[in-house]
Amino acid sequence: MVCSKRLEENFRKLAAIGAQADGGITRLAFSDTDWEAREFIIELMKQAGLVVRIDAFGNLIGRREGTNNAAPVVMLGSHIDSVPNGGNFDGVLGVLAAIEVIQCLEAAGTQTYHPIEVVVFMAEESSRFGMATMGSKAFCGELLPAQLEQLIDNQGMTLAEAMRQRGLDPEQVAAARYTGAIKAFFELHIEQGTVLENAGEQIGIITGIAAPTRFKVVITGQADHSGATPMNMRQDALTAAAEIVLLVEKLAGLEAHNGTVGTVGMITAEPGVMNVIPGRVELGIDIRGIIATSKQQVIQELTAGLGEIKKRRGVAITSSILTDEKPVEISREIVEFLQGIAKAGQYTSRLMPSSAGHDAMHLAGIAPAGMLFIPCKDGISHNPAEWANIRDITAGTQVLFMAVSKLAAQEGPKP
């Protein structure tokens, strides 16, 4: 059985790494705090009897052998990096729960037919380098060496340089591609919404995962004196940017777009002084949705809108795609399998989509993949107030344990 006290203690210890004064957590990918947290996780893996290896991108993989080590692997995991001043449950839940599953198997002396692997994916958050789920992309062969030189943090360091600092060779990133057979992959996660909490249900079984398309949009106008330039003679990059921000909100809010959402989460105005009309503005735009056609419609309408704003305001607007992910539909077999597990454990559950992207959406391209959610308080995430009840953490971990135990126990078909 899952040990709540052990889980709670591991969450407490990990929360101390990267802790901020207001209770938040900062563990940016490849940072010192990220690496300190990795060392803590490596030690937990070893204590659970896992043999740990590190792939070419830095993903941690802990392996427990089965009676047939050539059999396809049952895999589970998530990530431990965070957004700036975020919480200690996003991603961490899936990692600590996965290790707890192994600890339970070890404590019971249970030998499985299939090997089991726990994976901690690097750089799931986009906070430092502007691209999300990079560890799982590399794991699935979707990350190119050229991209590592193009992605730059706020201090001017490329991802390739950050990797070299950690003893990794960016030229060898293709070697991170996982080549073994995977029977199934599971990721346990906090909901980051209020559906489960409001419904009073313990487990969310994910039917599909939304995926983001992210843009960098640069608006170039003319920097001029704020007092001497008449209003009708201005090429104000910031007012044009303001129109774009409102356009994103308008398009994403249309009912016809089936729940596709849009966010302008980054804005930089230059020269950034009060008495100069902004001559250049850079925006970071995130468009995401469950339905690919709806997301694409929003993107097309946004692109048309950029052209109209450019013409009307007399500014230059360039747009470049940082990442373009495809929404994922979880297989009916996996969904029904997890429903059966939750029911067998007498846990209340519901089918639901994930509006946030996760590492599982990439694993779904190479193996049967499933996701489980547990409630998080008030739906708050990426925030110091992010919190999950240990009862719900234990319930989610128990469902994960039951699913992994059943699949790994003996030779058989995929779910």
Q: Does 224 carry a binding-site annotation?
A: no
Residue 79 is labelled as binding a ligand: yes
Q: What is the pLDDT at residue 320?
A: 94
Q: Is residue 86 part of a domain?
A: yes
44: its two tokens: 């937990």
Q: Does 6 belong to an annotated binding site? A: no
* Structural domain contains residue 414: no
More confident of the two residues 259 and 216: 216
Segment 274-293, tens digit of pLDDT: 999 999 999 999 999 888 89
Total structural domains in the chain?
A: 2
Residues 28 and 166 both lie in one domain: yes
Task: Mark whether 200 and 182 lie in a shared domain.
Answer: yes
**CATH number of domain containing 223:** 3.30.70.360
Q: What's residue 349's pLDDT?
A: 96
Whole-number average pLDDT of the chain:
95
What pLDDT sits at residue 211? Answer: 84
- Give the pLDDT confidence of 1-37 residue by residue, as tens digits: 899 999 999 999 999 999 999 889 999 999 999 999 9
Around 209, how many Cα atoms within 13 Å sit in the side-chain half-sphere?
26
- Cross-strand bridge partners of residue 317: 219
Q: Among 302, 324, 346, where does a domain finish?
A: 324
Q: Is residue 297 part of a domain?
A: yes
H/E stretch holding 185 reads strand 182-190
From 304, 324, 344, give the residue that closes a domain: 324
Whether residues 191 and 237 fall in one domain: no
Residue written as token pair 């990530």: 79
- Chain centre distance of CA 198: 24
Of 324, 341, 376, which marks where a domain is finished? 324
User: CB of 320 within 8 A of CB of 214?
Assistant: no
Q: Quick one: 31 and 152 in the same domain?
A: yes
Domain that holds residue 73: 4-210+327-409
Mean pLDDT of 397-407: 97
**Residue 334 within a domain:** yes
Same domain, 175 and 294: no
- pTM, whole model, 2 decimals? 0.85
85 is in an annotated binding site: no
The CATH number of residue 131's host domain is 3.40.630.10
61 vs 115: CA distance, rounded Å = 12
Q: Which segment of 18-27, 253-262, 393-402 scores lowest on mean pLDDT?
A: 253-262
Considering the domain architecture, whether residues 216 and 317 belong to the same structural domain is answered as: yes
Instruction: Please state which of the ranges 15-19, 83-87, 120-124, 257-261 shows the lowest mean pLDDT.
Output: 257-261
Same domain for 99 and 183, yes or no, is yes
215 and 341 housed in the same domain: no
Predicted confidence (pLDDT) per residue in 305-351, tens digit? 999 999 999 999 999 998 888 889 899 999 999 999 999 999 999 99
Answer yes or no: do 34 and 123 share one domain. Answer: yes
* Residue 365 identity (one-letter amino acid): G
**Residue 351 phi, psi (nearest 5):** -80, 140
**Residue 38 φ then ψ, to 5°:** -60, -40
CB distance 236 to 381 below 8 Å: no
Q: Round to the nearest angstrom and report the end-to-end CA distance of the chain.
A: 23
Per-residue pLDDT, averaged over 52-63, amounts to 98
In angstroms, the CA 66 to CA 410 distance is 10
- pLDDT over 70 for what percent of the chain? 99
Q: What is the pLDDT of residues 178-201, one digit of tens each?
A: 999 999 999 999 999 999 999 999
Residue 415 forms part of a structural domain:
no
Q: To the nearest whole percent, how much of the chain has pLDDT over 90? A: 90
What three-state secondary structure class fits 289? strand
Ligand-binding site membership of 90 (annotated):
yes
Residues 218 and 138 placed together within one structural domain of the fold: no
Task: Tell me what the mean pLDDT of segment 37-54 comes to.
Answer: 98
pLDDT the model gives residue 19: 96
pLDDT attached to residue 125: 96
CB-based contact 213:361 (threshold 8 Å): no
391 is in an annotated binding site: no
At 43 the pLDDT is 98
* 275 in a known ligand binding site: yes
CB atoms < 10 A from the CB of 349, how many?
A: 21
Radius of gyration of the chain (CA): 23
* 220 and 351, same domain (yes or no): no
Kind plus residue range of the DSSP H or E element containing 209: strand 203-209
Q: How many CB atoms lie within 10 A of CB 144?
A: 13
Rounded Cα–Cα distance for residues 348 and 369 (Å): 21
Tell me the per-residue pLDDT of 65-90, one tens digit each, with 9 for 90 and over.
999 999 999 999 999 999 999 999 99
